């Protein structure tokens, strides 16, 4: 069974920074983890993709966070990070991590339970 756990959320003032971490564990091989990334969902809004990163390091960002957020990963630790700088109140949301993992049955997406990020003065 695969487990995905996020951490690093909290309350920060506008303009501040947070670093989210997400680790995948279980009966998996690190090499089996393909894309990893982050979604977020604010109250009353659709869940949206924030950033993704391939195993090889190719990244994609939502236009609203580009140049402010940086996604990275440590394949040996099965961990993905999201460095969030210049945070704005509109970044307030629950942030969810996912990992796409391939096995003999094909790809499966695994999700964390979410971590709350609140940007407020």
Model pLDDT for residues 63-84, shown as the tens digit of each residue: 999 999 999 999 889 999 999 9
- Report long-range pairs for 47-56 (Cβ below 8 Å, ≥24 apart): 47/96, 50/82, 50/95, 51/82, 53/80, 55/31
Q: Which pLDDT belongs to residue 7? A: 96
Span 37-61, pLDDT tens digits: 999 999 999 999 999 999 999 999 9
Would the CA dihedral through 94, 19, 51, 14 be positive or negative? positive
């Amino acid at each position: 069974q695969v487990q995905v756990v996020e951490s690093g959320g909290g309350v920060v003032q506008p303009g501040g920074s947070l670093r989210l971490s997400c680790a995948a564990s279980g009966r998996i091989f690190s090499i089996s983890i393909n894309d990893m990334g982050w979604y977020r969902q604010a109250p009353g809004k659709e869940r949206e993709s924030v950033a993704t990163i391939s195993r090889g390091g190719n990244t994609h960002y939502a236009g609203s966070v580009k140049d402010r957020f940086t996604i990275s990963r440590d394949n040996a630790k099965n961990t993905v990070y999201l460095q969030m700088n210049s945070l704005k109140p509109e970044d307030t949301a629950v942030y969810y991590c996912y990992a796409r993992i391939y096995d003999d049955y094909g790809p499966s997406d695994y999700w964390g339970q979410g971590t709350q990020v609140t940007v407020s003065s």
